[in-house]
Amino acid sequence: MGEALLSSMLTEILIPICAVVGIVYALIQWFVVSRVKVVPGYSNGSNNGTNSKNGFTEYLIEEEDGGNDHSVVTKCADIQNAISEGATSFLFTEYQYMGVFMVGFAVIIFLFLGSVEKFSLKDQPCTYNKELMCKPALANAAFSTVAFVLGSLTSVLSGYLGMKIATYANARTTLEARKGVGKAFITAFRSGAVMGFLLSANGLLVLYISINLFKLYYGDDWEGLFEAITGYGLGGSSMALFGRVGGGIYTKAADVGADLVGKVERNIPEDDPRNPAVIADNVGDNVGDIAGMGSDLFGSYAESSCAALVVASISSFGTSHDFTAMCFPLLISSMGIIVCLITTSFATDIFEIKAVKEIEPALKKQLIISTVLMTVGIAVVSFVALPSSFTIFNFGEQKVVKNWHLFFCVAVGLWAGLVIGFVTEYYTSNAYSPVQDVADSCRTGAATNVIFGLALGYKSVIIPIFAIAISIFVSFSLAAMYGIAVAALGMLSTMATGLAIDAYGPISDNAGGIAEMAGMSHRIRERTDALDAAGNTTAAIGKGFAIGSAALVSLALFGAFVSRAAIATVDVLTPKVFIGLIVGAMLPYWFSAMTMKSVGSAALKMVEEVRRQFNTIPGLMEGTAKPDYATCVKISTDASLREMIPPGCLVMLTPLIVGTFFGVETLSGVLAGALVSGVQVAISASNTGGAWDNAKKYIEAGASEHARTLGPKGSDCHKAAVIGDTIGDPLKDTSGPSLNILIKLMAVESLVFAPFFATHGGLLFKL
Amino acid sequence: MGEALLSSMLTEILIPICAVVGIVYALIQWFVVSRVKVVPGYSNGSNNGTNSKNGFTEYLIEEEDGGNDHSVVTKCADIQNAISEGATSFLFTEYQYMGVFMVGFAVIIFLFLGSVEKFSLKDQPCTYNKELMCKPALANAAFSTVAFVLGSLTSVLSGYLGMKIATYANARTTLEARKGVGKAFITAFRSGAVMGFLLSANGLLVLYISINLFKLYYGDDWEGLFEAITGYGLGGSSMALFGRVGGGIYTKAADVGADLVGKVERNIPEDDPRNPAVIADNVGDNVGDIAGMGSDLFGSYAESSCAALVVASISSFGTSHDFTAMCFPLLISSMGIIVCLITTSFATDIFEIKAVKEIEPALKKQLIISTVLMTVGIAVVSFVALPSSFTIFNFGEQKVVKNWHLFFCVAVGLWAGLVIGFVTEYYTSNAYSPVQDVADSCRTGAATNVIFGLALGYKSVIIPIFAIAISIFVSFSLAAMYGIAVAALGMLSTMATGLAIDAYGPISDNAGGIAEMAGMSHRIRERTDALDAAGNTTAAIGKGFAIGSAALVSLALFGAFVSRAAIATVDVLTPKVFIGLIVGAMLPYWFSAMTMKSVGSAALKMVEEVRRQFNTIPGLMEGTAKPDYATCVKISTDASLREMIPPGCLVMLTPLIVGTFFGVETLSGVLAGALVSGVQVAISASNTGGAWDNAKKYIEAGASEHARTLGPKGSDCHKAAVIGDTIGDPLKDTSGPSLNILIKLMAVESLVFAPFFATHGGLLFKL
């Protein structure tokens, strides 16, 4: 017992220490990015220091192509400011909507859960081994509501910080590109790491503090505590919904609008400053791909932790108050931060990028190193923190689990994530035959390009689904629903690295945009393009991770919901469940139809505005007049805020309506259906879009004999490829990634409202 | 008892009489089509009678534009012969493959089922009320194999007859079009009716005869008999697989190839005789849209009948040997033939089409009339044939059912079919805003057209899924799995009318092609185009029916399988089932990837050949030299036969592998997953494709102020619309409709092999 106490104290200290280390590490990286100095040898040795514009340390370096020009630095700073202001202003407008939603939904949570009096699972067919919900309903409702608000705020903060660092780093990356591709890479990657570590450490810290605060009231009632804490996951995910959907519509409306007029009609290059939608496009990268994705992964993390904790609370170490074992999910995440920290230092301090072709391998090495190290880390945590054998409660049945079982569960999730990542890469990188085949199909025009791209997306689903199925099977067989929950955590344990790589992409994309807009030389643009191309592939890998973990998380939440709602079986052969299943499988289509149509309509508006400006502003094409960037930003902002409401309602209201009127069985069917169908739609949409994007880049780059027969830019082949790329934009950046949220959010919402549905639900059948 | 005997005798007589009436009616229609004479007033009054070419009664009529030219008739006859020969030769080559498959799979069925000794469900958790499988396994295996062969042959015959009448009627429709749109319509529709009635009557007759022959051996052992008879459904559906997939690849490879070079590159109109792929394209309509669809719907019919009979055999009237009640499923189909006969006569004899705009309403009226009449028919059958109250066995539980319950089950299926049909029409006809919006999005190019089209397809899933869900819920609540099986039969009961309308489309399409190739005047082409446009919409309605009924049929088969394999529950929360569910939901994507890629590759080959001919045959573009049609026909033939093997293997092997190695629970998951996910993919793919097709036609026709702002043919908008149409081709005619087969075939195969899987399956878990 003394040993147990020591271990428990260690746990108490270890988790916050890891979280704080993560945050400090992120701040150090930020500091390094902000202080990048001109390196002797490249530069004239002197540094003008702080007499900067908008906090910019001016870079004065000698280069053959006028890089030493003060005006270039000023231009970059100006553009960065424009992007940053656009992004900030959008986010603050979005936050007003989110705020209203948060308050409204907090009231709903409080009222619904507050109305559940004396709900004890003891009366239900599922047998747990102690009295549940012994606290008054109003108290539970209040704590759930507080957790919801905390989750919401942390999620918003995560997205905001990510956006801030990204818009802080993009122009710096551009300027560093003058010194070489390695310097630019390290700046972009470091900035990505800031986001990765801030997010994962913040999430862990807030969760840890919340648990400890809630514990003051709940004491040893773990089940009550973790029921309440699931509100944290719901808060995180519901904010992510707005971030992903709103941000996704914003970025793609701007992108599609800019491309359709700029590239297709006016034949001006991407990111040309004459294009009125160019600032909106660059803002979009930050609010959609950075802030949206940050919120999404934070949501996944928060939800899988909550799911694991809820299931853990009804296991034997939960009922025997073994705090260390209870904290196993948090310990995995803590270990993840340390592992990622070591991994990141490989990229920032050990390996140095010297050539363009080293970038993609370097990023991939990050994934492999973190996975290998994390496997060791999981072993340590599993054997140290867990009792060698304990009991898991699984829908009324007991299951004896060994600590090495749990090690395998976490590890299988972790490695499944890597497999999904690399399969995604295979199908979306133009280094491999699938994308090259798609590029080749452009010979016969846009139609065959689209047919081949869609077929590629469909095909790319196969291996990830088998990986997910195997993870589910292994982890469930070893440790029931708890196994699945920790497998999801395993996949997310290297999130800091994953996010760093993910965020690196849009930062590089922005850096390229700034180089183009600042009129920097072709060489600089080539370097940022190389960074961007690698970022495209890793962004696809990140999306693969996100959807894979979303699938596991949803299943874990689903399991927790079923436990909580006291459903013994979810039998497909009962009509209640089957209609739920088929309607649930339809929801991803409904949702995608909404988001894609939104992007389409918003892009049409953008096209009209850009055309109007080109037609009515004299001297715009000649570059003598400035376009009206602000109107385009406003169109994207208004469209995304207006258009995110219907899909948001679909996701938030479906569980409430189905649970209240049709009851928990039908709701279980809906969750299972949405999960198994949504995963396929999300993976195929993301990969189809990624493949089209890189097929286009393959033709543009013309790096191989084959690629040169398809090009050059402006050829019929290239035009066909651009059409594919444009179609892929909403698929890969709006509807595909938003589906993660759809399946997770419905599951966590069902879990939070489970006590209400179990007691008051199924009104229609009670009539 | 005397009354029961009388009723039983009536049933014995009624079913074959209805079937024979259907066949005779079809033959009469065929005779009418073949004897169409020149109508006095239009013609010169004389008829040259039988001195015809290839059995053609020459049409000599006076028309302002040289319609009285012998050479036109000869040309039409020639083209028709070329199409007919191409189709016949393809089908016979395809039949060789099918023959090999049929023999091989018959051996597998015999060996697998023959190895199941003394399998009695009495030992299983499901309780039935009598001893099952009391016949020796080898006998059961032999009868199953015979039923499989019978089903296969009937399916092949159905497809072949449909193709024959279609290629017989197309040139006749063209020639009739010279007399007016009404004449042409009636010819095409009558020919469609020949197919519709032949198929439904044939299916019923063969099934009825088989049951009576099997009864000689099985006596009153209904369960054994109907177990064996399910082979009939399997045979029908497995041939349909090849018909749909092979035919689908054939037709779209030719169509896409012809369009990409002809319309896009060479700017020559559709069906221009200078296009070397034009004959292959027209052949494709017959082998894919006629023979493939015929086999598909025959398969659905055979399977839903088998599913209903299997479930009925374990109900109280099955165990009490009430033959009339047992034959309820066959009586519904018999009544359907009579109702469709009356409905068809409305179109052929009562209403007359006088103007182009009356065509589509006339076809829709067919659907409405048949549904209303059939509702009365179902009531008659339900109240006369069924005992007023009886017991259904539902997974070990008993359920008392009244005859009016079953009436509602059948009726809800029937009306759900109509709802699905009309929703499909709303989303694919250019008379409504969804397609008009898609057409409008062509203003900004092909990319927005594709985005809007995909969004439309996703959205079009919503109401059909609710319609299916409601049918399932109502019919299951009233009469358990038997309710679902008869609901499926209800949806298919008006199949003769549905098929007539469906087949009408490709016949009109061909008629237009022949008019173009024979160089007939613009007026004639306009009339056939109008027929074709109406056919496009009704084809989409037919696809809606086909997928809706496939969903219900699969669920009924799934239910029968679960009963047969003695599975008490299919609990999503067990990992065995869940991994089945998620992998099953992935199969439609895998399958679609295969079929779309096949169409893409085959189309690329076709494009190269067509380009080669245009480049190397001098005088081809000028019309002075004839293209080499045969090579294009060969490319489509070879490609489709080669490419149909992998998707065929996927469908046929999945249930065998999963059942044998993972067992019946996982297989149940796979079936449920494939069903709920496949329905969505199929509906969205079909409707997206249909919408693009009609958006293009909307712009081409330029019938409204809005449409004229988008046109004319050859404008940028129109080009964007053509790209959408080309992408939609494989979606709506290959991968979409093939998915019906995927979900049905896996279910019926599982049902046939259920005794084997239940006893020998799940090897992997037994190790």
pLDDT digits (tens, 9 = 90+) for B374-403: 999 999 988 888 888 888 776 667 788 888
Inter-chain residue contact A599 with B466, CB threshold 8 Å: no
Does residue A133 sit in helix, strand or coil?
coil
Tell whether B468 is within 8 A of chain A (Cβ).
yes
Average pLDDT, chain B: 84
Q: Residue B394 belongs to what H/E stretch?
A: strand B389-394
pLDDT value of residue A487:
92
Q: Which is nearest to B333 in space by CA: B311, B310, B361, B309?
A: B309
| pLDDT-based confidence at residue B53 (cuts at 50, 70, 90) | very low
Give the C-alpha separation, B628 to B605, whole Å. 15
Q: Which is nearest to A460 in space by CA: A244, A700, A736?
A: A736
What the block records as the tokens of B568 is 């008490």
pLDDT value of residue A695:
92
Number of neighbouring beta carbons within 10 Å of residue B110: 17
DSSP state of A571: B
What's the whole-number mean pLDDT along residues A100-107? 92
Higher-scoring residue by pLDDT: B742, A61: B742
What's the whole-number mean pLDDT along residues B607-629? 85
Interface test with B, best of A470, A589, A590, A683 (most B CBs within 10 A): A589
Inter-chain residue contact A723 with B445, CB threshold 8 Å: yes
What the block records as the tokens of A506 is 């849009």
pLDDT in tens, A304-341: 888 888 878 776 666 666 777 788 889 999 999 999 99
Looking at the complex, report in whole angstroms how far the Cα of residue B652 sits from the nearest Cα belonging to chain A.
Answer: 18
Amino acid at A186: I
A39-53, A90-104, B10-24, B723-737: least confident range: A39-53
Q: Write phi, then psi, for A293 (nearest 5 degrees).
A: -65, -40
| pLDDT-based confidence at residue B659 (cuts at 50, 70, 90) | very high
Give the C-alpha separation, B34 to B28, whole Å. 10
Q: Residue B515 belongs to what H/E stretch?
A: helix B495-517
pLDDT value of residue A757:
87
pLDDT value of residue A267:
80
- pLDDT for residue B43 is more than 50: no
What's the whole-number mean pLDDT along residues A459-480? 92
Q: What residue in A sits closest to B731 (Cα-Cα)?
A: A451
- pLDDT for residue A689 is more than 70: yes
pLDDT in tens, B448-496: 899 999 999 999 999 999 999 999 999 988 888 888 889 999 998 988 9
Contacts A277 to B, Cβ<8 Å: none
Does residue B426 sit in helix, strand or coil?
helix
What's the whole-number mean pLDDT along residues A372-395? 85
What's the whole-number mean pLDDT along residues A30-40? 65
pLDDT value of residue B662:
92
How many alpha carbons lie under 13 Å from residue A662 in its C-beta half-sphere?
A: 21
Give the C-alpha separation, A753 to A730, whole Å. 32
Quickly tell me which residue has 């958790």 as its tokens: B125
Give the C-alpha separation, B311 to B393, whole Å. 8
Cis peptide before A329 (omega within 30 of 0): no
Angle at which helix B328-345 crosses helix B495-517, to 10 degrees, equals 40
- pLDDT for residue A226 is more than 90: no
DSSP alpha helices (H): ranges in A121-136? none
What's the whole-number mean pLDDT along residues A217-236? 84
A372-381, A614-623, B411-420: least confident range: A614-623
DSSP state of B264: I
**Cα distances (Å, whole numbers) of residue B570 to A384, A567, B581:** 38, 14, 10
Contacts B676 to A, Cβ<8 Å: 581-582, 584-585, 673, 676-677
Give the C-alpha separation, A454 to B500, whole Å. 33
Inter-chain residue contact A459 with B593, CB threshold 8 Å: yes
Give the C-alpha separation, A226 to A560, whole Å. 11
Handedness of CA A685, A689, A695, A701 (dihedral sign): negative
Contacts A465 to B, Cβ<8 Å: 582-583, 585-586
Which of the listed ranges A678-687, B155-164, B360-369 does the model predict with the highest average pLDDT? A678-687
Inter-chain residue contact B444 with A668, CB threshold 8 Å: no
Q: What are the helix and strand counts (H, E) for chain A?
A: 25, 2
pLDDT in tens, B689-730: 999 998 998 898 888 888 888 878 778 889 899 999 989 988
A273-282, A311-320, A645-654: least confident range: A311-320
What's the whole-number mean pLDDT along residues A712-730? 88
| pLDDT-based confidence at residue B672 (cuts at 50, 70, 90) | very high
Specify whether the CB–CB gap between B724 and B689 falls below 8 A. Answer: no
Specify whether the CB–CB gap between B186 and B353 falls below 8 A. Answer: yes
Tell whether A617 is within 8 A of chain B (Cβ).
no
**Cα distances (Å, whole numbers) of residue A73 to A54, A505, B31, B406:** 11, 22, 86, 79
Q: What is the CA radius of gyration of chain B?
A: 25
| pLDDT-based confidence at residue A735 (cuts at 50, 70, 90) | confident
Number of neighbouring beta carbons within 10 Å of residue B690: 32
pLDDT value of residue A65:
47
pLDDT in tens, B183-205: 889 889 999 999 899 989 998 99
DSSP state of A386: S
* Cα B502 → chain centroid: 8
Taking the model in full, what pTM does it have? 0.90
Give the C-alpha separation, A619 to A202, whole Å. 49
What the block records as the tokens of A470 is 């195997």
Identity of the residue in A447, A477, A583 whose CB atom sits nearest the CB atom of B723: A447
Identity of the residue in A589, A596, A676 whose CB atom sits nearest the CB atom of B582: A676
Number of neighbouring beta carbons within 10 Å of residue B269: 12
Q: How many CB pairs below 8 Å do chains A and B form together?
A: 235
What's the whole-number mean pLDDT along residues A611-618? 87
Residues 248-307 of B with CB under 8 A from A: 256, 260, 264
Contacts A448 to B, Cβ<8 Å: 256, 260, 600, 603-604, 726
Cis peptide before B361 (omega within 30 of 0): no
Interface test with B, best of A395, A569, A574, A586 (most B CBs within 10 A): A586
Give the C-alpha separation, B189 to B504, whole Å. 5
Which of the listed ranges A548-557, A660-669, B35-44, B239-248 does the model predict with the highest average pLDDT? A660-669
Tell whether B456 is within 8 A of chain A (Cβ).
yes
Contacts B555 to A, Cβ<8 Å: 578
Q: Which is nearest to B251 in space by CA: B606, B724, B622, B559?
A: B606
- pLDDT for residue A223 is more than 80: no
Give the C-alpha separation, B162 to B174, whole Å. 18
Q: What is the DSSP string of B453-483?
A: HHHHHHHTTHHHHHHHHHHHHHHHHHHHHHH
Residues 6+ apart with CB under 8 A from A26: A193, A194, A195, A196, A197, A198, A201
Give the C-alpha separation, A222 to A211, whole Å. 10
Quickly tell me which residue has 């009233």 as its tokens: B478
Which of the listed ranges A145-149, B87-91, B508-512, B734-738 does the model predict with the highest average pLDDT? A145-149
Identity of the residue in A476, A583, A679 whose CB atom sits nearest the CB atom of B575: A476
Q: Which is nearest to B509 in space by CA: B673, B347, B664, B693?
A: B693
Beta bridge partners of B393: B398
What the block records as the tokens of B189 is 């529709």
Give the C-alpha separation, A26 to A341, whole Å. 9
Give the C-alpha separation, A101 to B218, whole Å. 67
| pLDDT-based confidence at residue A584 (cuts at 50, 70, 90) | very high
B219-233, B364-378, B496-510: least confident range: B219-233
Tell whether B675 is within 8 A of chain A (Cβ).
yes
CA angle B552, B553, B554 (to 5 degrees): 90
Give the C-alpha separation, A538 to A679, whole Å. 19
Q: What residue in B sits closest to A257 (Cα-Cα)?
A: B444
What's the whole-number mean pLDDT along residues A291-316? 82
Q: What percent of chain B has pLDDT over 70?
A: 90
Quickly tell me which residue has 């019929």 as its tokens: A716
Give the C-alpha separation, A264 to A470, whole Å. 45
Specify whether the CB–CB gap between A696 and A440 falls below 8 A. Answer: no
Angle at which helix A522-564 crosses helix A736-760, to 10 degrees, equals 20
**Cα distances (Å, whole numbers) of residue B147 to B143, B217, B426, B705:** 6, 14, 40, 58
Give the C-alpha separation, B94 to B240, whole Å. 12
Contacts A677 to B, Cβ<8 Å: 585, 676-677, 680
CA angle A475, A480, A484 (to 5 degrees): 45
Residues 404-433 of B with CB under 8 A from A: none
pLDDT value of residue A724:
93
Specify whether the CB–CB gap between B512 and B209 falls below 8 A. Answer: no
Q: What is the CA radius of gyration of chain A?
A: 25
What the block records as the tokens of A516 is 């183009």
Specify whether the CB–CB gap between B49 and B32 falls below 8 A. Answer: no
Q: What residue in A sits closest to B574 (Cα-Cα)?
A: A476
Looking at the complex, report in whole angstroms how far the Cα of residue B586 sits from the nearest Cα belonging to chain A.
Answer: 6
pLDDT value of residue B316:
67
| pLDDT-based confidence at residue A369 (cuts at 50, 70, 90) | very high
Looking at the complex, report in whole angstroms how far the Cα of residue B86 sits from the nearest Cα belonging to chain A.
Answer: 26
Residues 538-577 of A with CB under 8 A from B: 551, 555, 559, 562, 569-573, 575-577
How many alpha carbons lie under 13 Å from residue B34 in its C-beta half-sphere?
A: 15
pLDDT value of residue B747:
92
Contacts B730 to A, Cβ<8 Å: 451
pLDDT value of residue A561:
86
pLDDT value of residue B320:
66
What the block records as the tokens of B712 is 């004319």
Q: Which is nearest to A166 in space by CA: A495, A500, A498, A533?
A: A500
| pLDDT-based confidence at residue B542 (cuts at 50, 70, 90) | confident
Tell whether B661 is within 8 A of chain A (Cβ).
no
Q: Using CB atoms within 10 A of its CB, is residue A395 exposed (0-12), middle (13-18) or buried (19+)?
A: buried
